[in-house]
Amino acid sequence: MTPEGKVSLLLKGLSINPMIALIDYGMGNIHSVKKALETCSAKVLVTNNPKDILLSRKIVLPGVGAFDDAMGRLEEQGLVSVIKDGIKKKKPFLGICLGMQLLFEESEEAKKKKGLSILKGRVRKFPSGDFKVPHMGWNQIKSCGRDRSILLEGVAEGADLYFCHSYYPQPKDKAIIAATTEYGLNFASFVQWENVFGVQFHPEKSQETGLKIMGNFVRLC
């Protein structure tokens, strides 16, 4: 095979299975997310190396734990500017649970740190009342907006997904809300802005429906 042919084959392979950088900053459910992405035929690189992230085709930021701790680790590992650069370069970006919340400007949970400020708005705590906090278990999402998100292609309206969180995002721009969920109040469980996607639920724990959402992300150009 000629060198030109090898390059052509390599590029063809990348277009079918583009590499996804799964950011490991010590605050995410890495194993489950990696396994789910690979089930969707993705080539996944678990990394916190800025160079690897910027060379990837897509970026996934998972997250479990406290807002201050997560932002602190991103700062310590030099990943804040890398994430912002990747988004500016129009790489498809998916934030999961806390990874979604970090996209906003601030959180009521945080005492020291501001968010990435990719999206305008703040993260609020569920009010105490008749509903248990954290919100844990299966719940429905309902799409909203004029155009249904491409990540919801093939997902039934009112589909159940798995949640585990005590805080929820409150975007300033309601137009970025792609789906909502009811739990004591109606909150944004899925946001989308240009190449940025954020889900409050855990698609990696949401069985077939979650895999459909992750598969749609994997297949994005």
Residue 97, both tokens: 């649970």
Catalytic residue, from 38, 76, 97, 144: name it: 97
How far are the Cα atoms of 126, 130, 176, 206 from residue 184, in angstroms, in the given order? 8, 8, 22, 21
Structure tokens at 51: 């160079």
- Of 40, 135, 165, 202, which one is the catalytic site residue? 202
Identify the active-site residue in 40, 135, 165, 204. 204
Sequence-separated (6 or more) residues with CB below 8 Å from residue 215: 40, 41
Tell me if 113 sits within 8 A of 172, measured CB to CB.
no
Let me know: does 187 contact 167? Beta carbons within 8 Å.
no
Closest listed residue to residue 169, CA positions, set 103, 71, 72, 94: 103
- Cα 165 versus chain centre, distance: 14
How many Å apart are CA 207 and CA 212, to the nearest integer? 9
Our answer to whether residue 31 is catalytic in this structure is no
Q: Do the Cβ atoms of 95 and 61 come closer than 8 Å?
A: yes
97 catalytic residue (yes or no): yes
3-state secondary structure 24-42: CCCCCCHHHHHHHHHHCCC
Q: Which amino acids are annotated catalytic?
A: 97, 202, 204
